[in-house]
Homo-oligomer: A and B are copies of this chain.
């Protein structure tokens, strides 16, 4: 069980290495009758595609997705959907020199220790290229969610990149898609770019925090106690390359709060649905969605592949210094935004299917 599948009912198995012939996702359990085409998936893949601007790696992959099964005459059939993305721009020679060396901060050494051999080209399976398959699968999940939960909206953005942090007072949803950093503040983008370009010239990289919000998700999603909605979201985000922390609602700062501060008080809304005075809970109580916005954040470490020399060892145990050439993102957090959105979409669809499996489509637990 090398566990390349996630999800309970909506199951996504990703496969492929950074420099193999192709990579992709086998998507099983999608409801039938959902309208899907390659262009819909390509829209999301293009968000994480490399080479789009100078704040990204200059590796130029079209990341064109092909649907090989599970869709007939434009609709899902309920059978497995195979999504394939061919690798085209592989400069394996960039990596030849690290075949015998372990790059600090990379999975080179642990894959070697676990498996006894590794595909060293571009990190092989441990490359962030694997997330392209997640984004493609997330496109399927988004289409199914749109059909099953009209009006649901999933949006991710960066909130921090090293010393740069967004100003919540200037939060602008409409700005997010208009800048290279997916930040909700058009004016701040220039400053973020100057900061990142200086780091790049310094042969350095930097970490980031991404926040993903789901609006319009129904109450009642989540399978306590080991398939809680927050549990599965945390696992989904932590499984993304380079992620080191995950927060729901208040997150780590909940430790600094008092009970009187943290409680989200409950009122009856005009539409007969409960409303809350605040959302410290991040839209989840007891592992089940409340109907509020679902809010998750995750931190991405700085890119380990940098041009500044770092001490390491070779497979034979001799010491060496590593300078990672090749074309790398100075901040992998930027491209983690669409990945986080895709994971949120997959988890929400999965729990929507789980909920109706156990509880059905009928009205549940009305209030008032």
A180 on interface, CB distance cutoff 8 Å: no
Residue of B nearest to A312 (CB): B266
Measured CA separation A155–B29 after assembly (Å): 32
Measured CA separation A219–B264 after assembly (Å): 43
- Determine the chain B residues whose CB is within 8 A of the CB of A206 once the complex forms: 257-259
A260 on interface, CB distance cutoff 8 Å: yes
Report yes or no: B252 in contact with A251, Cβ–Cβ below 8 A: yes
- Determine the chain B residues whose CB is within 8 A of the CB of A260 once the complex forms: 204, 306, 308, 310
A40 on interface, CB distance cutoff 8 Å: no
A150 on interface, CB distance cutoff 8 Å: no
Report yes or no: B104 in contact with A264, Cβ–Cβ below 8 A: yes
- Determine the chain B residues whose CB is within 8 A of the CB of A302 once the complex forms: 254, 257-259, 261-262
Given A1-B9, A20-B68, answer yes or no on A361-B361 (Cβ-Cβ < 8 Å).
yes
Q: Which of these binds chain B: A56-64, A123-131, A183-191?
A: A123-131
Report yes or no: B244 in contact with A245, Cβ–Cβ below 8 A: no
User: Smallest Cβ distance from A22 to chain B, in angstroms?
Assistant: 5
Q: Which of these binds chain B: A41-49, A168-176, A272-280?
A: A272-280
Report yes or no: B313 in contact with A267, Cβ–Cβ below 8 A: yes
Say which residue of B258, B264, B304 sits within 8 Å of A259 (CB atoms): B304
Given A234-B246, A367-B313, answer yes or no on A259-B205 (Cβ-Cβ < 8 Å).
yes
User: Smallest Cβ distance from A359 to chain B, in angstroms?
Assistant: 6
Task: Scan A109-120; emit 1 where CB is below 8 A from any B CB, else 0.
Answer: 111111111110
Report yes or no: B209 in contact with A255, Cβ–Cβ below 8 A: yes
Within 8 A of B (CB), among A2-41: 2-6, 8-9, 11, 13-17, 20-24, 26, 28-33
User: Smallest Cβ distance from A20 to chain B, in angstroms?
Assistant: 5
Given A21-B68, A250-B301, A252-B299, answer yes or no on A288-B110 (Cβ-Cβ < 8 Å).
yes
- Determine the chain B residues whose CB is within 8 A of the CB of A358 once the complex forms: 1-2, 9, 29-32, 78, 353, 357
Report yes or no: A28 in contact with B8, Cβ–Cβ below 8 A: no
Size of A's binding interface in residues, CB under 8 A: 160
Say which residue of B262, B285, B317 sits within 8 Å of A109 (CB atoms): B285
A153 on interface, CB distance cutoff 8 Å: no
Measured CA separation A253–B30 after assembly (Å): 37
Report yes or no: A32 in contact with B231, Cβ–Cβ below 8 A: no
A96 on interface, CB distance cutoff 8 Å: no
Report yes or no: A125 in contact with B79, Cβ–Cβ below 8 A: yes
Given A105-B285, A356-B356, answer yes or no on A116-B364 (Cβ-Cβ < 8 Å).
yes
Residue of B nearest to A233 (CB): B238
Report yes or no: B69 in contact with A17, Cβ–Cβ below 8 A: yes
Residue of B nearest to A205 (CB): B259
Given A3-B227, A20-B69, A116-B33, answer yes or no on A263-B304 (Cβ-Cβ < 8 Å).
yes
**20 other A-B residue contacts (CB within 8 Å) besides A253-B299, A267-B319:** A1-B9, A1-B29, A6-B226, A22-B69, A24-B68, A109-B285, A114-B364, A160-B255, A161-B255, A208-B255, A234-B234, A238-B246, A238-B248, A239-B287, A244-B250, A247-B299, A254-B302, A261-B302, A277-B311, A316-B368
Q: What are the 5 tightest A-B residue pairs by CB atom distance, in nearest-first order?
A: A107-B286, A317-B368, A357-B357, A3-B227, A205-B259
Give 18 pairs: A residue, B residue, CB < 8 Å, sorted on A: A2-B78, A3-B226, A4-B28, A6-B226, A13-B80, A14-B80, A15-B26, A23-B68, A77-B119, A125-B224, A199-B258, A204-B258, A245-B254, A258-B302, A265-B312, A316-B367, A356-B356, A361-B361
